[in-house]
Structure 1
Amino acid sequence: MERSPQAGDINPIDRGRTIVTFERTVGDREHDGSTSSAIASRRKNEPHRRPSGGMAADQPLAGHAAIVTGASSGIGSATAHALARDGADVALAARREAKLEELADDLETDHGATTLVAPTDVTEEDAVAELIDGTVDAFGGLDILVNNAGLARGSAVEELSTEEYRTMMGVNVDGCFFTTRAALPHLRASEGNLIFVGSFAGQYPRPFNPVYAATKWWVRGFAHSVAGAVGEAGVGVTVVNPSEVRTEFGDDESFEERFDEGEVTEPDEIADAIAFAARQDRSTVSELDLFRRDKLSDF
């Protein structure tokens, strides 16, 4: 069933096809010079309804709606693939719209997925609210939120600039709070799953980057406390803690540049853990640690 035009839609196209594209304005601001303020949705089927009965074994998340922040690369991109492979409709949130468009094309080609391209700066609470509302409007609900957006800047405290400090706090802490706050009413309604990407740095001291470590300790503390608050409502909350993962993550040199293939964890390994947590219907996977095998050899 094709989606009927709604107030605020712009330029529905190709109504003879199974994919319909429309745009939704995200507030009155652009997020940065590399992104527009539009959310573009590809719709193929009827609005999302959480299934009342069993699900196909090969697509256990069929009928479920998911949001992945930081989806443009690395763990976020791999997670979008994992959730789409399991049958979920996936909203892709990050600042780099072109990357999201490429990913959406891949998800549709590889998995036949229904996607929502949502250029979003998670440090802007209005943009985050529009992300959540746009996803619910497009898919009819929300079952899974993956709080993955995060970054690292600087190193030693005395050398860390205020700008670097505020950038890390803005993305890793504020962004995590804004998305969780906006999503929780919908996750309560669906008895869904809330998944946080934490870090090894949020479990052990990080002498060479204390502020980044502090943001990830915050994520873990926030996640476990939220779990206590929403468990009775049937919401599952999981923290997935990677150590080094071969992605664009990093400041001067990315982990993708620093490590060879097979030397540390790959993004799809983390994505598989996230998808496992997202598939849980009655139990909560409280915390999953995925470290490279020699990670604890220095302790």
Structure 2
Amino acid sequence: MSEVVLVTGASSGIGAATARRLAADGYRVVLAARSEGRLDRVREDLPTDALAVPTDVTDLDAVAGLVDATLDRFGRLDGVVVNAGTGEQPDVPLSELSLDQFEQVTDVNVKGAFYTVRAALPAIRERSGAVVFLGSYKGKYPSTATPIYAASKWWLRGFAASLAGRVGPEGVQVGVVNPSGVPTAFGGEFREQSNDDRLDPDAELSIEDVADAVAYVLSNASPAAVTELDLFREDIYERF
């Protein structure tokens, strides 16, 4: 029976591309995001058995219900891709950045990641499965434009490494994929331009590039584990 992987933030962008890639590899996929309509459209395009569960990852009870729905449907959970994320308006002085933006970035990127892992980990432990986090280039290098987003991704990497220290000896793989910029609708909520509008698709990574990296991390079998995979555009260090 094929493995089951849960993907958060799966209604568009990297999350949807990851769901498509995993389904093409034969995984049964559980898709989670807030938008039921967009989730259903992604699910309908997948070639394997899939489940769409509208979920706000900042709601602890909703995330617990998401995992329960997964186990009710498939009876197992082999992996989770912690992808849901958001960012603040760039280049705003900290004294002028709204607390709503700070709290939303923290709620989604930090609390949402923790809630997802907290709920999913018992089932993943039973399968000696995998946890894959979507990090960021900005989680390894300073970002003067988006310090709150960057800090949330630095936290994510620290959490992932610490989690690996706990569950790695039990056979659970924990990895982080750190992409540089990807043209998606990310950032549209608080920014005048989303990454789709701001980034040149011919010069940046594609969502499929990132999905391939996630699939690679998931594909490793114990005792091998890709703990961190940096996926940057080839000229990324020129900015230094």
Q: TM-score range by the shorter chain?
A: over 0.9
C-alpha contact (below 8 Å) 1:157/1:211 kept by paired residues: no
* TM-score for both structures, normalised by structure 2: 0.95
Name 2:88's counterpart in structure 1: 153
Indicate the SS of the match to 1:157. Answer: coil
Name 2:66's counterpart in structure 1: 131
| CA–CA distance in structure 2, aligned partners of residues 298 and 123 of structure 1 | 34
Indicate the SS of the match to 1:68. Answer: strand
Name 1:120's counterpart in structure 2: 55
Match of 2:63, as an amino acid? V
| 1:151-210 CA-partner distances (Å, limit 9, x unpaired) | 101233222111110000000000000000111111110000100000011100111111
| 1:2-40 CA-partner distances (Å, limit 9, x unpaired) | xxxxxxxxxxxxxxxxxxxxxxxxxxxxxxxxxxxxxxx
Q: Pick from 77, 80, 89: which aligns with 1:142?
A: 77
User: How far 1:292 moved relative to its partner?
Assistant: 1.2
| 1:109-137 CA-partner distances (Å, limit 9, x unpaired) | xx2x1011100000000000000111011
Q: Establish whether residue 67 from structure 1 lines up as the match of residue 2 from structure 2.
A: no
Name 1:5's counterpart in structure 2: none
Structure 1 alignment gaps of length 5 or more:
1-48, 50-62
Q: Pick from 202, 208, 229: which aligns with 2:139?
A: 202
Name 1:55's counterpart in structure 2: none
| 1:203-248 CA-partner distances (Å, limit 9, x unpaired) | 0011111111110000000001000000111000000001100111
Name 2:228's counterpart in structure 1: 287
User: How far 1:258 moved relative to its partner?
Assistant: 1.6
Indicate the SS of the match to 1:158. Answer: coil
Name 1:297's counterpart in structure 2: 238
User: How far 1:295 moved relative to its partner?
Assistant: 1.4
* TM-score for both structures, normalised by structure 1: 0.77
| CA–CA distance in structure 1, aligned partners of residues 161 and 151 of structure 2 | 15
Indicate the SS of the match to 1:93. Answer: strand
Name 2:17's counterpart in structure 1: 78
Q: Which of the pair has the greater relative contact order for Cα pairs under 8 Å at 6+ separation?
A: 2
C-alpha contact (below 8 Å) 2:181/2:199 kept by paired residues: no
Where in structure 1 do 4 or more consecutive aligned residues deviate above 6 Å? Answer: none
Cα RMSD (Å) of the superposition?
0.9
* Percent of aligned pairs sharing the same letter: 48
- How many residues in Structure 1 have an aligned counterpart in Structure 2? 234
User: How far 1:88 moved relative to its partner?
Assistant: 0.6
User: How far 1:72 moved relative to its partner?
Assistant: 0.5
Indicate the SS of the match to 2:45. Answer: helix
| CA–CA distance in structure 2, aligned partners of residues 252 and 165 of structure 1 | 17
For residues 15-54 of structure 1, what are the structure 2 equivalents within 5 Å? 49=1
| CA–CA distance in structure 2, aligned partners of residues 252 and 213 of structure 1 | 19
Name 2:105's counterpart in structure 1: 168
Between structures 1 and 2, the one with greater helix share: 2
Indicate the SS of the match to 2:151. Answer: helix
User: How far 1:259 moved relative to its partner?
Assistant: 2.3
Q: Establish whether residue 261 from structure 1 lines up as the match of residue 196 from structure 2.
A: no
| CA–CA distance in structure 1, aligned partners of residues 227 and 207 of structure 2 | 20
User: How far 1:257 moved relative to its partner?
Assistant: 1.2
Indicate the SS of the match to 2:61. Answer: helix
